[in-house]
Amino acid sequence: MSDADFKNKKSFQTKLIIMTAFIELIKKRNIEQITVKAITEKADISRGTFYLYFSDTEDVTNCIENFLLSEMPTAKSVNIRRTPKTRPEMPTLEECLDNEWEKAWFLYFQTHKEPLNALLGPHGHGQFYTKLKTQIMNELNTFMILDGFPDDNIRKYFQSLYADVFLILAQEWTLNKYKNNQDLQSLVDIASTIRIGGQYRTALFAQSGYERSQP
């Protein structure tokens, strides 16, 4: 290992120690109340070492959030390939069984459950929930474009509802709140059923000639 590689590895490990200490502190106190002093004591490092890597506690928060957002699964990352539809159609059996995106999301939560649960918990950052929700809504919109959903207000409401339900399911699953230990596939089926149900209902209305009224 070269000196440069060693320094890079050491820098990464030090940053990881600082961020891990920060995440542990969030579990016990509001994120706004966490100080540099508290982090350095928890991480067992000097203030000088902290300032080599971060300018303040907000910088630590942003670093963690940006990493988590960059790791989020997308339709492209799970290789979702469909031919876009020009109008809503009944979902095919293949589409009903296509839940790789939902599965990727639950695995994402499982992989990063410590920082995610800390930031989404009672002491975390409310803005991070909004960022996650927005990303889920954007990815769901990709599916809705492919499935020929009309671009109306109901579409936006559906995206918002789906994202909220999905985040609740994912967070409670990683916190082991389910008493009967629902497995991954069960939760994936719940999330994908909601998405496919929206596609089915929209296609049913389109085929019957029913026009949804706009608010």
Residue whose structure tokens are 């670093």: 63
Whose CA is closest to 14, among 36, 42, 37, 45? 45
Residue 94, pLDDT score: 66
Homologous superfamily in CATH for domain 3-60: Homeodomain-like (1.10.10.60)
**% the chain with pLDDT above 90:** 37
d(C-alpha 126, C-alpha 105), whole Å: 20
Is the distance from CB of 173 to CB of 120 less than 8 angstroms? no
Query: CA 181, CA 176: separation in Å to the nearest integer?
Result: 8
Structure letter (DSSP) for residue 89: -
Whole-number pLDDT of residue 5: 41
**pTM for the predicted model, two decimal places:** 0.78
pLDDT in tens, 137-152: 988 888 777 777 777 7
- pLDDT exceeds cutoff 50 at 214: no
The fraction of the chain above a pLDDT of 70, given in percent, is 74
How far is residue 55's CA from residue 62's CA, in Å, rounded to a whole number?
A: 11
Domain ranges for the chain, please list them: 3-60, 71-208
* Mean pLDDT, all residues of the chain: 80
